[in-house]
């Protein structure tokens, strides 16, 4: 497709996803109580509203605070730029009359919402509730990135669209900072440095793609390049920050401090900027402004009912003349005049503070070797106008293409690391997912240019070779090799000799498939009102295996239980309340690893329906999390309807790792 078709195509898909997110928020509002929504960070309860006059563009501003004076707002996903819904406690959030607005300002104590039209009178009362309706800021930044794409030089657009070959420059021998890199990692680093447009690091499970990214960053810094390091999730960004910090890099983490793990707060922009003299002066100006704000005795806020269409200038002049108009008493005019003059002083102080803060922020960002941010935050106002030489994007296959474009277009060239054989980006709208929104930019470029722009990492440092065997052949063309130190490791090293009396022969086999076929007690079921699945029989089996592993001496922290289905996860959590034992969905465990992993496939039905399991990337994630022990539980008759699952079961049988459950 050409550039116009490309921009139009993805703009339409992003809008579909935005609308779907709104729909799902409304569904959640109907399903969960207000308290549950607030605990999830998607609502504020027990608020009171107060008019803040008109904002820029004639927006109607209303400030909301907790009804209890001085009470802080709880931690929340709701941020400036998000679309929110305001409702009263005596109604429902989804009532048609409830207004939507955009968050204009958010402090620890208050949230200001801008409405396009005058909001209904109830928003100025008590017992109010604000719900996140859609995280509009992220979508807005994707729309902006698509518009920026149109303004790129033609040559770059054509390369990104797969219409022109990417360029490479010769690279002389280099000295590696990490001398432990293996041959495929070192080769990937060299190819990244040679790339003039972009390059892809394909990192299968446990192959050290993030370590390889860090080496690339260190090499680029040594060449005087400015680096933006990004990922789709906060967790992935924090992982980059932690590794760069350990490597001695001057790294700044941009983003809300509440979303940064505590151990890395000192690397956050908010923390780093506090020592800047301009920032300290800005804080002093803010304190002066707040003191003025608290001392407006005798002032009258020029609300719409007193303003009656008068401009600020007209109010000040009429008060000076002592002349009443439009039925407004002179005393009210003088009160509004006083309030407006104080507000002018306050606005001036705040403007000076903002200018100084901007200087301080720009200085910290300019002095950093690497700026780290989520894809979305890379498009924030703080980084507007900041240019980078290279963007390095980790976990790139978990980003939608419009999301990845945000950091990509901040730099002259980019490096992406990911694995398109694992789970794709999460897309809620099914039509958008089918129409390429669930395909990452990484995967599209790989399809367009092939191995010219990709280096695959070939040595994995996680799995026993018996665990590696099937995914290696099925997903990675047999190219993966287990590192010597992990190739033969089993649970033997984790089990004390004192436990040998309860040790069973199967305990030391790295991979087992337990077949539940032919037993009604292992059939799947669906809870009333749920679209998920659960399998109580498999849950009981999982519990027995987990308890046995703990009895053998494994700590709960060394074990994970995963399943594709939320309801199965919920059921297993209710049956296995063990501190430190992780029970998660497959999707929630991507990127993680444990010594022992138990997988509950759940599906067992006469129709041979696989549902979620039919996405084979989900299977790949499921069976590549374990280091020493992998136990898969499922109904072979149902699973074998898929060729891939049939090959998994055949592989287990061929290696003596297949067992039937009685």
- pLDDT for 224: 96
The answer to whether 238 and 261 are in contact (CB under 8 A) is: yes
| Residue whose C-alpha is closest to residue 367's, from 249, 260, 479, 452 | 249
The one-character DSSP state at 118 is P
Q: Residue 523: its pLDDT value, please?
A: 97
Strands, sheet with 370-374, edge to edge from the N-terminal-most edge strand? 251-253, 370-374, 227-231, 388-393, 411-418, 198-202, 454-456
Nearest C-alpha neighbor of 620 from the set 628, 635, 630: 630
591 in Cβ contact with 428 (< 8 Å): no
Q: Strand pairing partners for 110?
A: 65
> In this structure, are residues 7 and 147 in contact, taking their beta carbons and an 8 Å threshold?
yes
pLDDT for residue 181? 98
**Nearest 5°: phi and psi at 114?**
-100, 125
> What is the model's pLDDT at position 274?
87
Average pLDDT over residues 441-454: 98
Burial 99-136 (b: 16+ CB within 10 A, else e): bbbbbbebeeebbbbbbeeebeebbeeeebbbbbbbbb
Kindly state the percentage of the chain with pLDDT values over 90. Answer: 73
Query: Would you say residue 570 has pLDDT above 60?
Result: yes
Residue of 188, 202, 198 lying closest to 167 (CA atoms): 198
pLDDT tens track for 302-323: 776 777 778 888 888 888 888 8
Banded model confidence at residue 583, pLDDT cuts 50, 70, 90 = very high
Name the residue with tokens 């901007």: 358
Cβ atoms within 10 Å, residue 646: 13
Q: Is 94 helix (H, G, I), strand (E, B) or coil?
A: coil
Q: In angstroms, rounded to a whole number, what is the distance separating the alpha carbons of residues 237 and 205?
A: 18
Return all residues near 237 (Cβ < 8 A) that are at least 6 apart: 229, 230, 231, 253, 255, 372, 373, 374
- Cα 566 to Cα 576: distance, rounded to the nearest angstrom: 15
pLDDT > 70? residue 500: yes
Mark residue 455 as left, alpha or beta (left: phi above 0; alpha: psi -120 to 50; beta: remaining).
beta
pLDDT in tens, 172-231: 889 999 999 999 999 999 999 999 999 999 999 999 999 999 999 999 999 999 999 999
What whole-number distance in Å separates Cα of residue 393 and Cα of residue 533? 35
User: How many other CB atoms are there within 10 angstroms of residue 365's CB atom?
Assistant: 18
562 to 207, 426, 621: CA distances (angstroms): 22, 18, 10
Q: From the CB of residue 478, how many other CB atoms can be counted at a distance below 10 Å?
A: 10
Taking a C-beta distance cutoff of 8 angstroms, is the pair 47, 86 a contact? no
Give the pTM: 0.85
pLDDT in tens, 36-61: 989 888 999 999 999 876 665 567 88
pLDDT at 242: 95
Report whether pLDDT(516) > 80.
yes
Q: What's the pLDDT at 56?
A: 55
pLDDT score recorded for residue 235? 86
* Residue 604 φ/ψ, nearest 5 degrees: -155, 100
Tokens encoding 246: 């350990």
Whether the CB-CB separation of 405 and 149 falls below 8 Å is answered with yes
Is 152's pLDDT higher than 80?
Answer: yes
The answer to whether the beta carbons of residues 440 and 404 sit under 8 Å apart is: yes
Q: What is the tens place of the pLDDT at every residue in 323-363?
A: 888 888 888 888 888 888 888 888 899 899 999 999 999 99
Q: Quick one: tokens of 560?
A: 């994970």
């Amino acid at each position: 497709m050409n550039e116009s078709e490309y921009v139009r195509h993805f703009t339409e898909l992003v809008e579909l996803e935005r609308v779907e997110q709104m729909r799902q928020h409304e569904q959640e509002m109907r399903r969960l109580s207000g308290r549950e929504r607030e605990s999830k960070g998607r609502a504020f309860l027990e608020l009171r509203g107060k008019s803040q006059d008109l904002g820029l563009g004639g927006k109607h501003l209303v400030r909301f605070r907790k009804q209890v004076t001085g009470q802080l707002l709880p931690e929340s996903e709701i941020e400036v730029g998000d679309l929110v819904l305001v409702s009263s406690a005596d109604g429902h959030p989804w009532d048609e009359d409830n207004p939507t607005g955009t968050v204009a300002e958010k402090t620890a104590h208050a949230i200001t919402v801008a409405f396009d039209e005058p909001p209904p009178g109830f928003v100025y009362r008590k017992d109010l509730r604000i719900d996140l309706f859609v995280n509009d800021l992220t979508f807005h930044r994707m729309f902006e990135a698509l518009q920026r794409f149109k303004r790129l030089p033609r040559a770059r657009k054509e390369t990104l669209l797969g219409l022109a070959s990417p360029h490479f420059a010769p690279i002389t021998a280099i000295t590696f900072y990490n001398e432990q890199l293996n041959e495929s990692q070192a080769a990937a680093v060299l190819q990244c440095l040679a790339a003039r447009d972009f390059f892809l690091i394909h990192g299968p499970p446990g192959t050290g793609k993030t370590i390889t990214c860090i080496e690339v960053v260190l090499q680029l810094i040594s060449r005087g390049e400015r680096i933006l390091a990004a990922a789709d999730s906060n967790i992935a960004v924090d992982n980059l920050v932690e590794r760069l910090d350990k490597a001695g890099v001057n790294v700044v983490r941009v983003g809300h401090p509440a979303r940064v793990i505590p151990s890395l707060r000192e690397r956050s922009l908010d923390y780093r900027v506090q020592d800047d003299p301009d920032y300290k002066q800005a804080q002093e100006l803010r304190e002066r402004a707040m003191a003025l704000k608290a001392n407006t005795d005798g002032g009258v806020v020029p609300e719409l009912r007193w303003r009656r269409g008068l401009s600020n200038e007209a109010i000040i002049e009429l008060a000076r003349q002592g002349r009443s108009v439009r039925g407004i008493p002179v005393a009210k005019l003088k009160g509004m005049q006083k309030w407006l003059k104080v507000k002018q002083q306050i606005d001036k102080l705040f403007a000076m503070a903002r200018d100084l803060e901007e200087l301080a922020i720009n200085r910290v960002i300019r002095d950093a070797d690497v700026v780290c941010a989520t894809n979305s935050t890379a498009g924030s106002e703080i980084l507007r106008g900041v240019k980078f030489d290279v963007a390095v994007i980790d976990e790139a296959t978990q980003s939608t293409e419009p999301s990845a474009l945000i950091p990509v277009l901040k730099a002259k060239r980019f490096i992406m690391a990911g694995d398109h054989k694992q789970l794709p980006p999460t897309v809620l709208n099914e039509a958008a997912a089918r129409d390429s929104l669930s395909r990452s930019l990484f995967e599209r470029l790989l399809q367009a240019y092939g191995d010219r722009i990709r280096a695959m990492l070939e040595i994995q440092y996680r799995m026993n070779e018996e665990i590696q065997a099937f995914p290696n052949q099925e997903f990675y063309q047999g190219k993966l090799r287990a590192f010597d130190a992990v190739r033969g490791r089993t649970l033997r090293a984790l089990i004390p000799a004192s436990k040998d009396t309860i040790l069973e022969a199967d305990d030391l086999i790295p991979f087992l498939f337990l077949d539940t076929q032919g037993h009604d007690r292992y059939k799947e079921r669906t809870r009333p009102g749920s679209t998920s699945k659960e399998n109580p029989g498999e849950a009981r089996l999982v519990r027995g295996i987990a308890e046995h592993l703990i009895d053998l001496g494994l700590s709960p922290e060394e074990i994970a239980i995963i399943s594709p289905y939320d309801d199965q996860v919920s059921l297993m959590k209710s049956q296995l309340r063990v501190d430190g034992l992780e029970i998660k969905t497959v999707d929630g465990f991507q990127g993680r690893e444990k010594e022992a992993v138990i997988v509950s496939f759940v599906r067992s039905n006469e129709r041979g329906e696989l549902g979620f399991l039919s996405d084979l990337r989900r299977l790949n994630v499921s069976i590549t999390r374990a280091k020493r022990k992998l136990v898969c539980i499922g109904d072979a008759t149902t699973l074998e309807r898929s060729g891939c699952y049939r090959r998994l079961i055949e592989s287990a049988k061929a290696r003596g790792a297949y067992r039937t459950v009685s």
